[in-house]
Amino acid sequence: MDSTRVTEQPTSYERPQPGTDPADPRGALLRTPAAPLTPGAAALPAQARSTGETPPGPSVTPSDGSGPEHSQPAAAEPDTHRPRPAPEVIPAQPGTDPERSGPGGQERRTGQVTPPGRPTPMRRDGDRLRFVGAATRRIARGIDLDEIVMGLCRATVPTFSDAILVYLRDPLPVGDERPTGPVVLRLRRTDRIPEERDTEGGFLPVAQPEPSELSTLTAELCEVRPGGALAEVLRGVRPVFADAPAARAALPELLGEDGEAVIPAGQRAILAPLRGRRRVIGAAVFLRRPERMAFEADDLLIAAQLATHSALGIDKAVLYGREAYIADELQRTMLPETLPQPTGVRLASRYLPAAETARVGGDWYDAIPLPGSRVALVVGDVMGHSMTSAAIMGQLRTTAQTLAGLDLPPQEVLHHLDEQAQRLGTDRMATCLYAVYDPVSHRITIANAGHPPPVLLHLGGRAEVLRVPAGAPIGVGGVDFEAVELDAPAGATLLLYTDGLVESRLRDVWTGIEQLREKLAATAQLTGPDHPPPLEALCDEVLDMLGPGDRDDDIALLAARFHGIAPSDVAYWFLEPEEMAPGKARRLARRALVRWGLEELTDSVELLVSEVVTNAVRYASRPVTLRLLRTDVLRCEVGDDVPQLPRLRQARATDEGGRGLYLVNRMARRWGATRLSTGKVVWFELNSG
């Protein structure tokens, strides 16, 4: 038994089947010659097999040529209780239709002769339905705005029309927001059949404008005047022919003064408003060539279906784009915009969103300056990939910054983070690693809460995975965290990261950690044993180890290059809280400046040290600390056991005090005060050069 071949319709710029012509008036369904039929194949469409009803389309002539042209096949498919799903594409039709054409291939209704190799129009309602189904599926494939608009163009050109112009509102409204300005339509995309194709493919030269000329002849922007002809057509929602009175007045307003040149005469253009869920968001103009037959009334229904599906898809794409933008901005704003530049350490960071998620996750990193020129290094990972994970990450990061400002030990910081996570919810879990680096002692204190261990790259090129107690993740509750203190030699690099860097579907976490260690060691060998690799380049090299299947999770990376402060650049004293302390502090500071060759700063340092020490000894009950640090700047730190922080205020003319911090604020490069667990530290910096 013979059957017809099922083929998909060609779309824009796709070569049609031989024997077809896109210039046919209603050529949404391109006809191809009947293919040789395979014995035993089914002759009826799937919808008619189980019922035995005659399908609306043309049937197949038996292979011996004995039966009438529209007779049913002699036998049906044996397995009638298993209907086959409807085809996803438009079935091709025979090249001729005796019911529609007369002698010599003339169209009975119009008398026009269909030249060889041109497609015939859609003859049946089933053909139109199958075309609309295939076109809407192609439009629905798009996930962003450009893909949906392109899907509309490629689904209609050349199958339904020879050219299309798509206008969208600028800007597009999002969700339920109400635009405040006038309605402006912008030409988003044009598409059409190329002017010249070889006659073998069925395309003949035409005199219509090229795609670039379409956008040139038509206006790019159009402001819809309230109460105007275009506004009335858009408000009506239904597509209209170009020769309708309403469209004749609306098209010049939409296309501009020269736009009428692209509109063929007769019913060869359709203006279809694009209406989303709540409002009109644009318009589409479908065009056919003059030598192609005009649109029919049923084609208005097809244009309405295409416009409706496209508008709803555009609405969803705009909403999806806004949600993705909000998620991305939420993630970015919760990460540090810039890293600080603490004394004795250089920092670099990277963040990569997951490749298969909505670009939002719970990974974060942070570097927080601490009193005494120390710095806290933090990296964490909230479980999950959602807006909720990003919000929890922001709360935990804020909590960590607050706890770091109290100068708590690392294990205490993790303990309070664990309590905070439990207050946020029972299933709010995260891993975190908190480290404090002291450039004076060249030591680092690390506490871990279920996070992958850090890797230390030594100056000689040896990479070491630090042995840090793993601990339980934050949010488990009822667990104790342990801190370890390790050496942080000058020239070494500490790498903190989240598990997205070392774990994926293709490798476990420990295999990834070993690969990371080997990557760091190999990179260090390129610069030699005496020079550490550049920090930014090192981060890029680390990310290069990721393969195509290693982006299942977002990645946060924080690298710290330890330089430290040499003991010869540090001066440290204890001062008893007595009246003679300010004078003693001035003498000690003067000697240190002479030893460092900074005599030009003597007057400024003596004045400021005297003011800060005087305020400290006035309220302190324990010895006051004074420390001078020489790096690229001169830093002075005065600590006492009083937790109240000083505040800058404007002293009145009759006040005897209150001017010390005013002098510090005017003369110092920077200054500040930080609360400690045992009191506070007031510090200021002066340029040493």
Structure token digits, residue 84: 């086959």
582: confidence class by pLDDT, cuts 50, 70, 90:
very high
- The 10s digit of each residue's pLDDT in 200-255 is 333 333 334 444 456 556 768 888 888 888 888 888 888 999 888 888 888 888 88
455 pLDDT tier (thresholds 50, 70, 90): very high
Place of tokens 């298969």: 356
- Assign 125 a pLDDT band (cuts: 50, 70, 90): low
Q: Does 452 have pLDDT greater than 50? A: yes
Residues 6+ apart with CB under 8 A from 103: none
164 within 8 A of 285, measured Cβ to Cβ? yes
- Quickly state the pLDDT bin for 464 (edges 50, 70, 90): very high
**Which one-letter amino acid corresponds to residue 604?**
S
pTM for the full predicted model: 0.65
Q: What secondary structure, in 3-state letters, does 442-474 show?
A: CEEEEEEECCCCCEEECCCCCEEECCCCCCCCE
- Beta strand segments in 269-373, E: 269-275, 280-287, 345-352, 363-369
Confidence of residue 529 (pLDDT cuts 50, 70, 90): confident
What's the pLDDT at 108?
42
* pLDDT over threshold 90, residue 521: yes
Average model confidence (pLDDT) for the chain? 78
Q: Which residue do the tokens 């409807």 mark?
A: 86
pLDDT tops 50 at residue 12: no
Q: In this model, does residue 6 exceed pLDDT 80?
A: no
Q: So what's the pLDDT on residue 97? A: 42
Question: In the block, which residue shows the tokens 């020079």?
Answer: 531
Helices (H) and strands (E) in the chain, counts: 14, 21
Determine the Cα angle at 435 with ends 684 and 341, to 5°.
40
Q: Which residue has the higher pLDDT, 185 or 79?
A: 185
Contact yes or no for 43/5 (Cβ under 8 A) = no
Give the tens place of pLDDT for each residue, 383-419: 877 778 888 898 999 999 999 988 889 999 999 999 9
